[in-house]
Amino acid sequence: MYARRSLFGLLAGVCLVATPAGAETLKEALTRAYIDNPTLAAARAQQRATDENVVIQRAQRLPSASASGSYLELIEQSTPSVVSPSRIFSGGVDLSVPLYRGGAVRNGILAAETRVEAGRADLRGTESAIFTQVVAAYMDVILNEALVGLASNNVDVLSINLEATSDRFQIGDLTRTDVAQSESRLALARSDLRSTQANLVAARENYIALTGDAPNDLQAPPPLPGLPTSPDMAVDVALEHNPDLIAARERADAAGFDIRVAGAGRLPTISAFTGADYTNYLGTLGAGINSGTDVTAGVSVSIPLFQGGRVAAQQRQATAQAQAALETMIAAERNVISQVRAAYSSWRAANAIIASSETAVDAASLGLEGVRAENTVGNRTILDILDAQQELLRAQVQLVTARRNAYVAGFSLLAAMGKAEARDLGLGDEGVLYDPAENYGRVENIIWDWQRDPDPVVQSSRTVDIPAPDGEIPVTDFTSDSPNGPTGD
């Protein structure tokens, strides 16, 4: 009965139970990663850099103005002239307005805007990937804590069994072989405990790397919403919402605009211009006119006649790159379909394993009790007891592992469907959602050359000061009698 109660207590970490006060939930872990994960912060910064490409392209169709000035001192003249000035100051202002660039500017802007959309999809994909890693790390900590508890409980049971076997050996009821078998199993159980503790340390370290904080009394995750009822349903949703596939489609569209940009190099360009030039001879012309201003305006046309095949090569290059983008889109679609179907299969399999393992645990528990009872009347050996104990442990390990795998596979399925992002997970309730459109709206109309952002600073926290985790688990009050793990069809 103690072993049975202990098992249920250990499994409570992966069951749907009430959250104690002060415990850490999966939503809190995801929120912390959303705010503090450096990979996600870097992806946001990269998207802000991508936003600027639209401004850079748009600047090519706006007027440009420049000013110039010079001062000249004539030190020596080889042929002196009475009308030659010895000092000259000149300055000018020029304004140029592009009128036609063969469509290069318009298509360049469209390509940049399309790549902004692709970047936003990439950002969604990064966010979803980080969340999937956090969920896996969260469940790995819970799983490995349960495995350490099972291994520790196994050591305790085998220690008691060795003591009982040794006592019976002393009174001649058992042989030295029985004692040796018990000692061997206990030694193996202790080594397994060390191994599971090392795995728990690794799981906690991975959790720290992803969330920026150590795990603290992790609670059972909530049920996963919106899981599909068939792989075809999951694929249909993924083809519409998967961020990686959306990004590939947007890049293919942008590559089409690049072809037009490259082809514009063989078309004429037209610009309007005006300028004012001021010259002052600083009184060195005597009684003559010592200053003057010239104002000009006009239209310039440039018609390319021969460029050595450069434009044709650039357009062929852009065409080949567009072809590559189209093939990449198909590859992304294939990969998404494969991911979705594989995740769906893993999720269904893990749920089936849960059901089988629950039956196996119940049967192995009853079997162990029966073997012990039969041993007291001489119908079973000590080795039979040890084998039954090992069989129970294997069933328990398979059960907690299947529960972890079912949840991670279910979340991975949602991620592949494009349904595992901050808004889908309710993180907006915390008021922390990052909207990449805000930065785009901030910069898209800036035309002042002297505007700049503050110098970059690190936003994510360092983890060097977080104490190294150990492989110990907190003492648990084993009171649960009916674990209910994640379920599904």
pLDDT digit string, tens, across residues 16-63 = 334 444 588 999 999 999 999 999 999 999 999 999 999 999 999 999
Q: Can you say how many angstroms the Cα of residue 232 is from the centroid of all Cα atoms in its chain?
A: 26
- Band of pLDDT at residue 172, cut at 50, 70 and 90: confident
The fold adopted by the segment(s) 2-62+104-259+323-443 is Outer membrane efflux proteins (OEP) (1.20.1600)
pTM: 0.86
Mean pLDDT of all residues in 254-258: 96
Question: What are the domain boundaries of the chain?
Answer: 2-62+104-259+323-443
What are the tens digits of pLDDT across the range 445-478? 999 999 999 999 999 999 999 999 998 887 653 3
| The predicted structure's pLDDT at residue 117 | 97
Per-residue pLDDT tens digits for 97-143: 999 999 999 999 999 999 999 999 999 999 999 999 999 999 999 99
8 has a pLDDT exceeding 70: no
Q: What is the pLDDT of residues 201-227, one digit of tens each?
A: 999 999 999 999 999 999 999 999 889
Specify the pLDDT at position 289. 75
Distances in whole angstroms, Cα of residue 324 to Cα of each of 53, 201, 252, 317, 335: 22, 44, 8, 11, 16
Burial of 264-273, coded b for 16+ CB within 10 Å and e otherwise, reads bbbeebebeb
